[in-house]
Structure 1
Amino acid sequence: MTGLIDAATGRPPVFMAVFFMMLALLTGCSALQHKEIAGEPVALPIAPPTGPARHVVQQLTATWTDRQETLVCVLELDGRHIAMAGLTNEGLSLFNLSYDGHTLTADKSPLLPDAVAPEFMIADLQLVYWPVAGLEKILPAGWRLEAGPNGRILYHQDDKKVEVRYLSPDAAWPRNVELTNHQYHYRLNIKTLSYDVLPE
């Protein structure tokens, strides 16, 4: 697979805005992606990579009671590898993440605060898009995932923690999705700007 930043900048420009406050909150509050130990969020293992090979650009808009922020994620993934990048409007790389199913590598710009961990962000996307069987393998005891053609619901015991609604259902990759995190009180709207299947 080609380098993610090269692949991203080699395509037509995508207008994006990365807001540090949104990143900091998203990286610390997805119910799927962390558990708290001594009050600190700890990332669960990322679900294994899954094919087919794809290059995806998505706009993520998060809404809280008092504000709304937008960012764009650029993903390349296949059955052996996950790569994720964030860029400023000027094309400055803010972070790169790479995962081969065994080793996670993250390269962050000094401009990002230490609290920002891109691996947390990918967990929300995996909850939306990854095969249910793969997600169930990484859920800790007491958590369960219910899935249907129009959405998914993540429970802890009997409490609904995260709800996913596919606004434009698609078997391969739903293009418009709404994720509601009931535990941390935010809504994430995901709009796929481009979706390209890559040669293996």
Structure 2
Amino acid sequence: MPLNLNAKWLAIAALLLASLGLTGCSELLFRQTCVGLAKDMRYCLAPLPHDFAPPTDKPLTKPTAKPAIMASQQTDSNIGVSSPQSFSQKVSIKVGKESHELLTQLELEGERMTLVGLAPLGQALFTLVYDGNTLSSEQSVLLGDNFKAEYLMAMMQLIYWPEQSIRAHLEGGHLVTGLCDTVGGNQSDTLVDTRMNTIPCRQIYSQDTLISKSALQTHVVQIRYQQNVGDVLWQAHISLTMPQAKFELEIEPI
């Protein structure tokens, strides 16, 4: 019997939470580069964009209507980051009522994306390396074969990659960017055209919402950017939620 998608996400997150603080011998594994986000929806890791310059990625502050999924004009020629970039982050993960923290180091160089995970006290948990084609994972054997750290790398791309690249590698989903409204401190699913009580936001809907006329369309993924330093995306405090999976991810730059 196929595993319910929500149960699968809960299992993945539970394994991640249980793993924090564990150390031991490591093993090298090769991972899938596509991860499921919902029924009939998945995201496949994208190559590093050419001349990737996160601090100048401005589309988040410009609301867009909900268009049909666009065919990307981006090609994979001349792919690669022109100069090495490195970002340290504190990551908080919550699934249901359980929560934990880890430290991550994200490095971008040439065509290589490397994500290193550490427990709060500095013990190595995993190292993921994506070269634009294959994804390898060196991780503690104590994490077990069911540990799917590639989901965390996919989330990093959903958060930071240019929207054109995400649309080109999102299957069965619909990306909307703009400003998310806040009402009484609670999150709203509505993208609005005013900056009053709003913050930059990305939302991913299922393909079904393209033909739905309901005003109660629910996002599968929502990413909110609490930006404190101009438009520097990589210095933003970020919140990613997946309501159906009861999954929350908080990223705070270090």
User: If the length of structure 1 is used for normalisation, what is the TM-score?
Assistant: 0.70
Q: Say if 1:74 and 1:84, in contact at 8 Å, map to a contact too.
A: yes
1:45 is matched with 44
For structure 1, which runs of at least 5 residues remain unmatched after alignment?
A: 1-19, 26-31, 194-200
Largest Rg, 1 or 2: 2
Moved more, 148-157 or 58-67: 58-67
Question: In structure 2, how many angstroms separate the alpha carbons of the residues matched to 1:43 and 1:21?
Answer: 21
Give the Å deviation of 1:75. 0.9
Question: In structure 2, how many angstroms separate the alpha carbons of the residues matched to 1:59 and 1:22?
Answer: 18
Q: Say if 1:98 and 1:105, in contact at 8 Å, map to a contact too.
A: yes
In the comparison of the two structures, how many residue pairs are matched? 163
2:125 is matched with 94
Q: Say if 1:45 and 1:138, in contact at 8 Å, map to a contact too.
A: yes
Letter of the aligned partner of 2:176 in structure 1? E
Letter of the aligned partner of 2:123 in structure 1? L
Question: In structure 2, how many angstroms separate the alpha carbons of the residues matched to 1:160 and 1:118?
Answer: 23
State the SS of the aligned residue for 1:49: coil
Are 1:67 and 2:98 matched, yes or no? yes
Q: 1:181 to 1:140 in 2, by over 3 A?
A: same
Q: 1:180 to 1:133 in 2, by over 3 A?
A: same
1:151 is matched with 201
- RMSD value, Cα: 2.7
Q: Say if 1:163 and 1:181, in contact at 8 Å, map to a contact too.
A: yes
1:7 is matched with none
2:79 is matched with none
Give the Å deviation of 1:152. 0.3
Q: Percent identity?
A: 28
Moved more, 76-85 or 128-137: 76-85
User: If the length of structure 2 is used for normalisation, what is the TM-score?
Assistant: 0.57
Task: Please give the per-residue CA displacement for 1:126-147, whole angstroms capped at 9, x wherever unaligned.
Answer: 1111111111111113x11011
Question: In structure 2, how many angstroms separate the alpha carbons of the residues matched to 1:96 and 1:43?
Answer: 23
Letter of the aligned partner of 2:92 in structure 1? T
Within the candidate set 42, 64, 85, 1:54 is matched to: 85
State the SS of the aligned residue for 1:68: strand
Question: In structure 1, how many angstroms separate the alpha carbons of the residues matched to 2:42 and 2:140?
Answer: 20
